[in-house]
């Protein structure tokens, strides 16, 4: 474009051209638009297969004369539309690619299974009588969410205790969020360490807890947090619990001196039912079905070691130690689910001194819990949740 034409175009836009030159400029602009249309059609023809024809416009068959401002305005809007569609196409391509990468990342190997195992185990060892069954929801933009219902054993049933959620960004975990249905479950129950110097009572008056238990109707069940007058091995404690018409659900393990405190407000322990992991499973049958380009569904049946109801203390202890080692291996993830765990010191103490228990959570009919008052090895009791009768006596 010559400088002379640019100058005329500027004057035309400012309305300073004489009438004759103005009409001449408008005619030139119309010719430019016609040339543009002609070139676009020629390019379209080059992209079509041989033999394809289309009637084209020549510069002499230009559209009826119009105003230059309308021509320029149409060009601007055309450019805006093209840019908009380009941005939308790029965004759509990014979303598709990110979704594929996210799916591949979280489905590769056993990454998601490890996340579920670590988080559920961290909750099980740090929250007395609390378990969670987690499901994974892979999202776009490299995100994933673990979520599940928190459950407690009260009497003969597992009852809903709240919801747990934890978000991930490319494997980096955010803090776990517990939404309790009853805030008393957030950590208001605790145990007392055996106090040999002060004797069996340890100077703590828990008469109000026994009175609470006495006032509960006979047709109810409850959970009870028991503290002992001494440390017991797992086998020894199970033998003491066996004659009782109660269900043990969680055991508190001794992990050494706790800054001189007699109260365990953040206990560490293990559930009555072992926390089996991937390496414990014996695969009986396995199949895999492809569901898409980058996804598949696997199914298998497995068997875990059998455990005697009131025995196999060694197996239970080994499962507890193995669980803590798994949590230590994924310590950063563990601390997002249970930030108060001190795994290094706890594991070192347990491996040196063995697993010894100073407390337990049991559940059952209130009339059976009241009988524990006569057991000399039960030094303290705290009553947890209460439910209407849902119990089936053992052996019936």
Check if the beta carbon of residue 237 is closer than 8 Å to that of residue 357. yes
Q: Of 118, 111, 117, 185, which Cα lies nearest the Cα of 144?
A: 111
To the nearest 10 degrees (0 to 180), the angle between helices 313-329 and 234-241 is: 130
Strand-strand pairing, 191-192 and 263-264: antiparallel
333 backbone φψ class: left, alpha, beta (φ>0; ψ -120 to 50): alpha
Give the per-residue pLDDT at 16: 74
Give phi and psi for 127, each to the nearest 5: -120, 105
Q: How far apart are CA 377 and CA 200, in angstroms?
A: 8
Concatenating the DSSP letter of every residue in 139-154 gives -STTEEEEEEEEEEEE
312 backbone φψ class: left, alpha, beta (φ>0; ψ -120 to 50): left
DSSP three-state, residue 302: strand
Spell out the residues 6+ positions from residue 350 whose beta carbon is closer than 8 angstroms to its own. Answer: 253, 255, 320, 321, 324
Q: How far apart are CA 274 and CA 281, in angstroms?
A: 12
Check if the beta carbon of residue 302 is closer than 8 Å to that of residue 140. no
Spell out the residues 6+ positions from residue 280 whose beta carbon is closer than 8 angstroms to its own. Answer: 304, 305, 319
Q: How many residues does the chain have?
A: 396
Give the per-residue pLDDT at 2: 73
Concatenating the DSSP letter of every residue in 202-235 gives TT---HHHHHHHHHS-TTEEEEEEEEEEEEE-HH
Concatenating the DSSP letter of every residue in 24-56 gives HHHHHHHHHHHHHHHHHHHHHHHHSPTT-----
DSSP three-state, residue 1: coil
- Rounded-to-10 torsion of CA 224, 228, 229, 235: 140
Give the pair of three-digit tokens for residue 235: 């086998």
Check if the beta carbon of residue 129 is closer than 8 Å to that of residue 190. no
Q: How far apart are CA 301 and CA 84, in angstroms?
A: 52
Concatenating the DSSP letter of every residue in 121-144 gives HHHHHHSTT-EE--EEEE-STTEE
Q: How far apart are CA 345 and CA 96, in angstroms?
A: 46
Give the per-residue pLDDT at 196: 43
Give the pair of three-digit tokens for residue 48: 């079509």
Per-residue pLDDT 10s for the chain (396 aa) are 677 777 777 776 777 778 787 778 777 777 766 666 555 565 555 555 555 454 444 444 444 545 555 666 666 677 788 888 888 888 888 777 777 777 776 777 688 889 999 999 999 999 999 999 999 888 877 888 999 999 999 999 999 999 999 999 877 889 999 999 887 777 778 899 886 434 444 457 889 999 999 999 989 999 999 999 999 999 999 999 999 999 999 999 999 875 457 888 889 999 999 999 988 988 888 777 776 665 667 777 888 999 999 999 999 999 999 999 999 999 999 999 999 888 999 999 999 999 999 999 999 999 999 999 999 999 999 999 999 999 988 654
Check if the beta carbon of residue 335 is closer than 8 Å to that of residue 344. no
Q: How far apart are CA 304 and CA 279, in angstroms?
A: 10
CA distances from 214 to 207, 302, 365, 369, 370 (A): 11, 45, 12, 10, 7
Concatenating the DSSP letter of every residue in 317-378 gives HHHHHHHHHHHHHTHHHHHHH-TT--HHHHHHHHHHH---EEEEEEEEEHHHHHGGGG-TTE
Q: How far apart are CA 334 and CA 328, in angstroms?
A: 8
């Amino acid at each position: 474009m010559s400088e002379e034409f640019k100058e005329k175009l500027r004057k035309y836009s400012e309305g300073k051209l004489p009438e004759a030159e103005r009409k001449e400029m408008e005619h030139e602009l119309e010719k430019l638009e016609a040339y543009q249309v002609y070139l676009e059609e020629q390019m379209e023809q080059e992209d079509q297969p041989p033999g394809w024809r289309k009637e084209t416009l020549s510069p002499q068959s230009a559209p009826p004369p119009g105003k230059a401002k309308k021509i320029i305005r149409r060009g601007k809007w055309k450019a805006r539309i093209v840019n908009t569609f380009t941005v939308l196409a790029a965004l759509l391509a990014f979303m598709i690619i990110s979704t594929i990468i996210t799916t591949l990342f979280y489905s590769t190997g056993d990454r998601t299974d490890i996340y579920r195992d670590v988080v559920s185990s961290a909750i099980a060892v740090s929250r007395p009588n609390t378990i969670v069954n987690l499901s994974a929801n892979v999202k776009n933009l490299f995100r994933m969410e673990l979520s599940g219902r928190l459950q407690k054993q009260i009497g003969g049933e597992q009852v809903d205790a709240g919801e747990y959620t934890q978000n991930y960004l490319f494997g980096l975990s955010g803090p776990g969020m517990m939404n309790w249905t009853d805030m008393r479950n957030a950590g208001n129950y605790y145990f007392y360490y055996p106090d040999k110097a002060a004797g069996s009572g340890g100077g703590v008056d828990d008469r109000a807890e026994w009175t609470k238990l006495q006032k509960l109707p006979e047709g109810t069940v409850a959970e009870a947090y028991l503290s002992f007058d001494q440390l017991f091995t797992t086998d020894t404690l199970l033998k003491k619990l066996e004659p009782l018409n109660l269900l043990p659900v969680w055991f508190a393990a001794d992990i050494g001196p706790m800054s001189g405190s007699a109260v365990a407000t953040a206990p560490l322990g293990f559930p009555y039912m072992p926390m089996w992991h991937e390496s414990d499973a014996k695969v009986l049958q396995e199949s895999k079905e492809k569901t898409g380009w980058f996804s598949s569904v696997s199914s298998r049946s497995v068997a875990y070691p059998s455990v005697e109801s009131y025995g196999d203390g060694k197996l239970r202890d080994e499962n507890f130690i193995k669980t803590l080692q798994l949590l230590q291996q994924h310590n950063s993830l563990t601390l997002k689910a249970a930030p108060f765990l001190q795994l290094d010191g706890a594991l070192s103490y347990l491996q040196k001194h063995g697993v010894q228990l100073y407390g337990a959570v049991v559940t059952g009919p209130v009339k059976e819990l009241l009988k524990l008052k006569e057991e000399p090895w039960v030094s303290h009791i705290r009553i947890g949740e209460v439910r209407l009768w849902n119990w089936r006596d053992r052996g019936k």
